[in-house]
Structure 1
């Protein structure tokens, strides 16, 4: 009963959580890590073992991972980055035929998550407000600009004056002009949602984003507030969703109105806070997919007002030659 974390990069905390939980069930179980450059991946160095894989845009990517999983008796794959989700979702059946579960949501849901316009439609269809989208010839300042298929806060802009706008903003067809939800009046949350095999919501952990670095939370706080009830009521069932889904939301401090911003069909970079608070997604995944245990509601299992302060640490690789 071995596990694979793909595109492992620097996801050390997530990998260690799976190592810890797997050992409770299977003493000789291993958590592998895969990366295009494993020697420079901290998570690969911490994993029980690791291997190099082709880049995502290479045709051999799926076949290579499939063969590695067969050889290493890997039965469960945990993807971690946006760009691999659709590829793995489209090939879930090939892995299933070999007794391997890829913990990724349906192709349809992944596509909705990857296209921000589709994400907005999804939120609205579930009674969740969204930031207004403007036409590029008819907008209201201030603006927030982001790509339709963006990730990690790349190519995002806060526009306060017309002088902040450049030809690039108008010419790049991927960039969306959106209503700016000011952090002076709104709190920003990333909510870790756990969906069971039947696509039912079993846990919600809102994490207030206090400080962000490179699109990933650096300081965060668990908050058991009205966000939990709101998402529990409006996203109780999400077609195609399995495992960890992250929903990025804003809440107006005065009115408590909640806006849906983004949806990601994967573990978020700040999930370790939810895990340490008691929302044990790795354990539930193992119970569901290795031991066929039926999942129950876990809405009250985690610690409220738990503050996470992240810092850089070191992983040393001896004898490395560049």
Structure 2
């Protein structure tokens, strides 16, 4: 059986169901979380509770689960977890487990938004002007190099939490003063907001699938409404961009298109929250993963989907008895 482990599954119920559909009869979908009432736990074939990712027993828990559940591949659904797992890549690989996340170096760049900005600039990849802190921003502001409004987000954020548009200096100072973590400040650009779901083959290390969508509506956690599009120029740019990184498996890239230019403003080396759109359009990353687990290189299927397909995410409800929990929900 080609069992896969999805760590920190949280609320990704629909994604787990999609995996089960694609893996049906060929492998189990095993998931983890550190909270006993994470909804995705209850739709998986098997689930386990672990320590938090910042606790010393976390990797020990993962290794034990991999052995017990006969795991053949592993990927994470939470950004900070990716860096932790990437640090354990060698020990996981030595156990014959396919690691569907980037190298430790690339994972660190993706998590730290300012390091990512610096790398994109060095690599001459068009991106949005980004400032490390308020003093850095004000130096550019006083020179007339940037003006309000601006866009701010946590330096090591995840799922668009804390990301927002700021209109005045007074508002910016108030937010930063009360912030629980460091923020970066970015130039605010109006343009077409495009999200790309990308699969980098785990054997050939080539981009073999790209699904593009124009965002119609955003919410905390990502895109809530979008329409599928195709852009052959952007397809080629994405292949070139991925060549600068050490990706493996699913990657989410976000662009702003202004005229003929594409500004890359975020990269998350995992399944995006809106990957469900791609899957519904027949772009089946779990099937590509199955092939890689079996040692098969996936042929390119970039752009093989219909355009004009609109995704609309909506809330759903999971119900479970407290007697079925493996650990008290207050722990």
TM-score for the superposition, normalised by structure 2: 0.87
| 1:196 aligned partner | 201
Within 5 Å, which residues of 2 pair with 1:77-226? Answer: 77-134=74-131, 135-138=136-139, 139=141, 140-169=147-176, 174-182=182-190, 186-197=191-202, 198-226=204-232
In 2: Cα distance, 1:218 partner to 1:113 partner: 22
Tell whether the 8 Å contact from 1:144 to 1:156 is kept in structure 2 after alignment.
yes
Q: Tell me the alpha carbon deviations over residues 213-239 of structure 1, each in whole angstroms, 9 at most, x when there is no partner.
A: 213211111111256335245325243
Tell whether the 8 Å contact from 1:205 to 1:228 is kept in structure 2 after alignment.
no
| 1:66 aligned partner | 63
Q: Tell me the alpha carbon deviations over residues 169-193 of structure 1, each in whole angstroms, 9 at most, x when there is no partner.
A: 27978322221113xxx12122111
> Would the alpha carbon gap of residues 280 and 155 (structure 1) be closer, same or farther in structure 2, given more than 3 Å must change?
same
> Would the alpha carbon gap of residues 159 and 300 (structure 1) be closer, same or farther in structure 2, given more than 3 Å must change?
closer
In 2: Cα distance, 1:125 partner to 1:287 partner: 35
| 1:19 aligned partner | 20
- Is residue 300 of structure 1 aligned with residue 303 of structure 2? yes
Shift of 1:65: 1.3
Tell me the secondary structure at the aligned position of residue 164 of structure 1.
Answer: helix
Tell whether the 8 Å contact from 2:114 to 2:130 is kept in structure 1 after alignment.
no
In 1: Cα distance, 2:174 partner to 2:315 partner: 37
| 1:288 aligned partner | 292
- Is residue 37 of structure 1 aligned with residue 35 of structure 2? yes
> Would the alpha carbon gap of residues 237 and 119 (structure 1) be closer, same or farther in structure 2, given more than 3 Å must change?
same
Tell me the secondary structure at the aligned position of residue 299 of structure 1.
Answer: coil
In 1: Cα distance, 2:118 partner to 2:233 partner: 20
TM-score for the superposition, normalised by structure 1: 0.89
Candidates 249, 262, 278, aligned match of 1:258: 262
- Is residue 6 of structure 1 aligned with residue 7 of structure 2? yes
Candidates 54, 57, 64, aligned match of 1:57: 54
In 2: Cα distance, 1:78 partner to 1:118 partner: 23
Q: Tell me the alpha carbon deviations over residues 290-320 of structure 1, each in whole angstroms, 9 at most, x when there is no partner.
A: x111221111322212101111122221345
Q: CA RMSD in A?
A: 2.1
Greater displacement, 121-130 / 11-20:
121-130
Alignment size in residue pairs:
312
Q: Tell me the alpha carbon deviations over residues 107-127 of structure 1, each in whole angstroms, 9 at most, x when there is no partner.
A: 111111112122123333454
Tell whether the 8 Å contact from 2:72 to 2:96 is kept in structure 1 after alignment.
yes
Tell whether the 8 Å contact from 2:210 to 2:303 is kept in structure 1 after alignment.
no
Tell whether the 8 Å contact from 1:207 to 1:222 is kept in structure 2 after alignment.
yes
